[in-house]
Amino acid sequence: MFALKAESPMQSTWAQTMSLLENCSNMKQLKEIHAQMIRTGTATEPKLATKLLTLCTSPHFGDLHYAQRVFNGISSPTTFMWNAMIRAYSNSNEPELAFLLYRQMLSSSVPHNSYTFPFLLKACRNFSAMSEALQVHGLVIKLGFGSDVFALNALLHVYALCGDIQYARQLFDNIPERDIVSWNIMIDGYIKSGDVKTAYGVFLDMPLKNVVSWTSLISGLVEAGLNVEALSLCHEMQNAGFELDGVAIASLLTACANLGALDQGRWLHFYVLNNGVHVDRVIGCALVNMYLKCGDMEEALQEFGKLKGDQKDVYVWTAMIDGFAIHGRGVEALEWFKRMLREGIRPNSITFTAVLRACSYAGLVEEGKVLFESMMSVYILSPSIEHYGCMVDLLGRAGLLEEAKELIKTMPMKPNAIIWGALLKACRIHRDFLVGGQIGAHLVEVDSDHSGRYIQLATILAAEGKWKEAAEVRLKMKNLRVPIPPGKSSITLNGVVHEFLAGHQDHPQMEQILHKLNQVVERLRQHEGYEPATKDLLLDLENEAKETAVAQHSEKLAIAFGLINTKPGSTIRVVKNLRVCEDCHVVAKLISRIYRREIIMRDRVRFHHFRGGSCSCKDYW
């Protein structure tokens, strides 16, 4: 609290009042100073009144309602004062009130300046008011600000971010003197419209780039799933002499998480520590997520421990619970859920999806039932279709197919493809081909654009030896032109991501890889009695052809590459875009024992840690 002395002439002088205002740090102090100004008659002095209003509208500690009272008490507000109020409203939860204030400004015959319109346009952007933006555009031209780059950039920002990227491009092309902000707005606009290719073209055409330019494009590439390209652009950015900022680092950590690129993720972590980058909540959580998705739970735990209390919100706790789940550590996931509750963090629906998934993967049926019930009875959360899907998966994996079907009957919503898919997967695991065939046929009809539904049905039919029916399903899928995502696996070596597609032989080391793979298979046959598991194949091929097809699955190619190019005894890390097949799972287990290698494989749904001939999933995936 300020020690204000109304009776002191020194304290009532202009200089002393300005000093108090400049050192003010909260609204309580500001109101005391304002009261002192009113008592001493300095509240209407233009410079003091302007400083007071500026602090009232400050985004750090301002109070817009109080600012309005101060503004109303000024007899003849200047253009600066009107602009300060318009800007404050444009940044508020009621940006449309900026236009009401602007109309009052017009009726008061107060002149505009080049800052008035950008503030109005920011209000347009904040409540997606394209019609108002067009009106402001007309005023910008009418009142002689059509060549002001500050006003034009504000217009550009509205059009680019409110969805009219073509109009934004037209305006951009007609700006006589574009500055770096103009170019950055267009990059951001194209990225938000989903046109990353054009955004990259604008980036290449820029005569001068800054950190924002590089960061915007890196973030856009990651959002578009172009993670390898984002990491490559990071190297270009550094070669061009730019330092990575927090936004770029968070995006790049996400790219590493998506790729399972642990080495690059560790390098980024090292960069943060050695370049004094502030580890805020975003970067801290991105580090936790990167280590989780790259299969390093211990590092994830360490980074979680470094987060400050207010940074450990429900989302990062949920990420940790889900991390334990996908790594096959269901009991620990439950322990962390209980620990989160003890810390006073209330779980949300995403948390329950994670913890129910943990129960499903670990076969913790009773625990899952109790948690599912507590959603409604304790936390007053209505289970979504995803939660019911987790429960059907939990019951189905445990072989409780009848109980799973009863749960489906009692659902308050109509079962969708997620529910039927979970039950079909259970039928496949427990080889209930009759029910599985019926569900599969139904799924193909209701989810006809999903290739996985056809493949699941054809796999069940093929497992029964019904090759003709399986071929018919495959033919139907082909005739309907349902796209099949190719099996793709990646492995990172010395900062380079190497990708392998099933059956493709375009890698520069492919001859060595295939030779190594043949050696591995022969050794597994001799020492472990290995025979390729071909029942997952969909076509009635000859046995030799089946074995060849299975042998060249992408994860086997990636593992063989790892055996060739990494030191004996070191861990091999593979990321697969689809569910790992049964044969590749068997081979990975056997390689981990024969070659004494730990293999960490992340497939579409979870991690598999292969050590000494066994897998963390306990052959239950």
Residue 574: pLDDT band (50, 70, 90) is very high
- Digit-coded pLDDT (tens) for 503-552: 778 899 999 999 999 999 999 999 888 888 665 554 444 444 444 556 78
Rounded to a whole number, what is the distance in angstroms from the first to the last CA of the chain? 63
pLDDT score at 130: 66
Question: Could you say which DSSP state residue 609 is in?
Answer: E
276 torsion bin: left (phi>0), alpha (psi -120 to 50), beta (else): left
The answer to whether position 598 is within a domain reads yes
Q: Is residue 11 pLDDT above 80, yes or no? A: no
Q: Is the dihedral of CA 233, 234, 235, 240 positive or negative?
A: positive
What does the alpha-carbon distance between residue 120 and residue 140 come to, in Å, rounded to a whole number? 11
What does the alpha-carbon distance between residue 165 and residue 161 come to, in Å, rounded to a whole number? 8
What does the alpha-carbon distance between residue 146 and residue 152 come to, in Å, rounded to a whole number? 7
Number of neighbouring beta carbons within 10 Å of residue 431: 10
Residue 574 belongs to what H/E stretch? strand 572-576
Question: Could you say which DSSP state residue 236 is in?
Answer: H
What does the alpha-carbon distance between residue 420 and residue 248 come to, in Å, rounded to a whole number? 41
Among 565, 621, 607, 613, smallest CA distance to 591 is for 613
CA distances from 360 to 42, 149, 371, 543, 621 (A): 70, 58, 12, 35, 10
What does the alpha-carbon distance between residue 175 and residue 111 come to, in Å, rounded to a whole number? 25
Cβ contact 82:105 at 8 Å: yes
The answer to whether position 453 is within a domain reads no
- Digit-coded pLDDT (tens) for 369-380: 999 999 999 999
Cβ contact 119:105 at 8 Å: no
Cβ contact 303:311 at 8 Å: no
pLDDT score at 106: 86
The answer to whether position 394 is within a domain reads no
The answer to whether position 500 is within a domain reads yes
The answer to whether position 481 is within a domain reads no
> Which letter, b or e, does each residue of 189-218 get, where b requires 16 or more Cβ atoms within 10 Å of its Cβ?
bbbbbebbebbbebbeebeebeebbbbbbb
pLDDT score at 7: 47
The answer to whether position 62 is within a domain reads no
Q: Phi and psi of 608, rounded to 5°? A: -125, 115
pLDDT score at 549: 58
- Digit-coded pLDDT (tens) for 126-135: 666 666 777 7
Count: domains in the chain: 1
The residue with tokens 């308050």 is 412
Cβ contact 609:615 at 8 Å: yes
| SS3 labels along 534-565 | CCCCCCCCCHHHHHHHHHCCHHHHHHHHHHHH
pLDDT score at 550: 63
The chain-wide mean pLDDT, for the chain, equals: 88
pLDDT score at 372: 97
Domain range enclosing 573? 488-615
What does the alpha-carbon distance between residue 29 and residue 199 come to, in Å, rounded to a whole number? 47
- Digit-coded pLDDT (tens) for 276-304: 999 999 999 999 999 999 999 999 999 99
pLDDT score at 287: 97
Q: Is residue 221 pLDDT above 90, yes or no? A: yes
What does the alpha-carbon distance between residue 229 and residue 231 come to, in Å, rounded to a whole number? 5
The answer to whether position 459 is within a domain reads no
Give Cβ neighbours of residue 49 (< 8 Å, ≥ 6 apart).
43, 70, 74, 81
pLDDT score at 243: 95
DSSP 3-39: ---TT-TGGGSHHHHHHHHHT--SHHHHHHHHHHHHH
pLDDT score at 605: 86
Q: Is residue 21 pLDDT above 60, yes or no? A: yes
CA distances from 352 to 143, 197, 318 (A): 57, 38, 9
DSSP 401-421: HHHHHHHHHH-SS---HHHHH
Q: Phi and psi of 574, rounded to 5°? A: -130, 140
The residue with tokens 């994996």 is 397
CA angle 500, 505, 510 (to 5 degrees): 85
The answer to whether position 446 is within a domain reads no
- Digit-coded pLDDT (tens) for 391-446: 999 999 899 999 999 999 999 999 988 899 888 888 888 888 888 888 888 888 87
Give Cβ neighbours of residue 370 (< 8 Å, ≥ 6 apart).
none
Q: Is residue 120 pLDDT above 90, yes or no? A: no
Q: Is residue 147 pLDDT above 80, yes or no? A: no
Local structure of 70: helix, strand or coil: helix
What does the alpha-carbon distance between residue 310 and residue 208 come to, in Å, rounded to a whole number? 39
Tokens found for residue 181: 């902000």
pLDDT score at 582: 87
- Digit-coded pLDDT (tens) for 443-491: 888 788 888 888 888 888 887 788 888 888 888 888 888 888 888 999 9
What does the alpha-carbon distance between residue 332 and residue 312 come to, in Å, rounded to a whole number? 18
The residue with tokens 């360490």 is 302
Q: Number of C-alpha atoms within 13 angstroms, CB side, residue 238?
A: 11
What does the alpha-carbon distance between residue 244 and residue 372 come to, in Å, rounded to a whole number? 44
pLDDT score at 326: 92
